[in-house]
Amino acid sequence: MTIFFHWSEATPDIWRNALTAENIPGDLRFVEDPGALSDINYAVVWAPPQGLLRQFENLKYIFSIGAGVTHITLDPDYPSEVPIVRLQDRLLVQDMSCHIIHWVLHFHRYYARYRQYQGEKKWLRHRYPENSSRRISVLGLGQTGQDACIRLSDLGFNVTGWARSEKTIPGVRTLASNDAFDTVVREADILVNLLPLTPETTDLLDAGVFNRMPRGSFLINVARGSTVVDADLLSALDCGQIEAAALDVFREEPLPADDPYWSHPAVSVTPHAAAPTNEGSAAEFIAGQIRIAMDGGRPAPIVDLARGY
């Protein structure tokens, strides 16, 4: 049994130790010296070289070192017949919720004004609404979206979650269907985007969406950059329809030096850092799923390629 591993930022010993803890025998091979490609049964990867996975003729599963899988599926020659198991890590979910809560509080309590006051040496306080009157709409109710909804609701915010299929979250209003999407957008004082990138969500957040949101609302995007029409968001920010945006993901990453987001006064840029993979917990999760596969079970969660996630 042979495992191919590819992640440029990895600490190999962490992964070897996790595999050993699950009593998983065999080789751990790397792109520098993969050996006989026909030996490889499992691939544990982040952004593998294009065309490489197709060469593993006896590949049984691909394990993504991250919740997203477009780093695999955007390869035009990746082996689509091989199931992809995406990372479902409790620390990743927790970190994403922490990032979202940070920006919700930042926008809700207008903390940007204090930075301005500091520069002007003003000792000035301002009022902000009660949490219960701030309407937060969360798009995408996978594990991360559900966790964020629950945590924001626990803080007393007025939370609505939206997904294409029906979901139930205790204490949170949830809506589904395209018709309900309009309601969610119109009520979004703060819009949190956690939608996966699919043909249906590409360019979903456009001028039509921004113009339907309450004037002076906020956007938090931690999903995928291509779900947002950048020119439309910049226009909405310039005219004050959207007061500010916290963007963690972009169409092109790293964000080019000449991109207008860098210098826009109403945009906060973070470098796809909302929930970086925790090596220890990710290695434990993936090793556990490989063990399940070796024992004849089916690892999870397996990506539904028809839905794109």
Residue 46 CB neighbour total at 10 angstroms? 20
DSSP annotation of 193 reads E
Measure the CA–CA gap between 163 and 195, rounded to whole angstroms: 8
Q: Are residues 147 and 227 in the same domain?
A: yes
Structure tokens at 167: 């979901």
Residue in 197, 195, 175, 196 with CA at minimum distance from that of residue 186: 175
Per-residue pLDDT of the chain (309 residues; tens, 9 = 90+): 799 999 999 999 999 999 999 999 878 999 999 999 999 999 999 999 999 999 999 999 999 999 889 899 999 999 999 999 999 999 999 999 999 999 999 999 999 999 999 999 999 999 999 999 999 999 999 999 999 999 999 999 999 999 999 999 999 999 998 889 999 999 999 999 999 999 999 999 999 999 999 999 999 999 999 999 999 999 999 999 999 999 999 999 999 999 999 999 999 999 999 999 999 999 999 999 999 999 999 999 999 987 777
Q: Are residues 98 and 226 in the same domain?
A: yes
Q: How do residues 83-132 score in pLDDT, each as one tens digit? A: 999 999 999 999 999 999 999 999 999 999 999 999 999 999 999 999 99
DSSP annotation of 223 reads S
Residue 213 CB neighbour total at 10 angstroms? 23
CB 270 within 8 A of CB 100: no
Residue 232 lies inside a defined structural domain of this protein = yes
CA 111 to chain centre: 24
**DSSP assignments along 155-180, one per residue:** TT-EEEEEESS---BTTBEEEEHHHH
Q: Are residues 288 and 210 in the same domain?
A: no
Residue 52's CATH number? 3.40.50.720
Measure the CA–CA gap between 191 and 200, rounded to whole angstroms: 18
Measure the CA–CA gap between 174 and 215, rounded to whole angstroms: 23
Q: Are residues 115 and 263 in the same domain?
A: yes
Measure the CA–CA gap between 15 and 80, rounded to whole angstroms: 25
Q: Are residues 285 and 219 in the same domain?
A: no
Q: Catalytic site residues? A: 224, 272
3-class state of residue 40 by DSSP = strand
Residue 309 lies inside a defined structural domain of this protein = no
Q: How do residues 170-202 score in pLDDT, each as one tens digit? A: 999 999 988 899 999 999 999 999 999 999 999
**Residue 37's domain spans which residues?**
2-89+277-294
Measure the CA–CA gap between 62 and 43, rounded to whole angstroms: 5
Residue 256 backbone phi and psi in degrees, to 5: -60, 150
**β-sheet with 61-64: strand ranges across:** 27-29, 2-6, 40-45, 61-64, 84-85
Residue 302 lies inside a defined structural domain of this protein = no
Residue 306 lies inside a defined structural domain of this protein = no
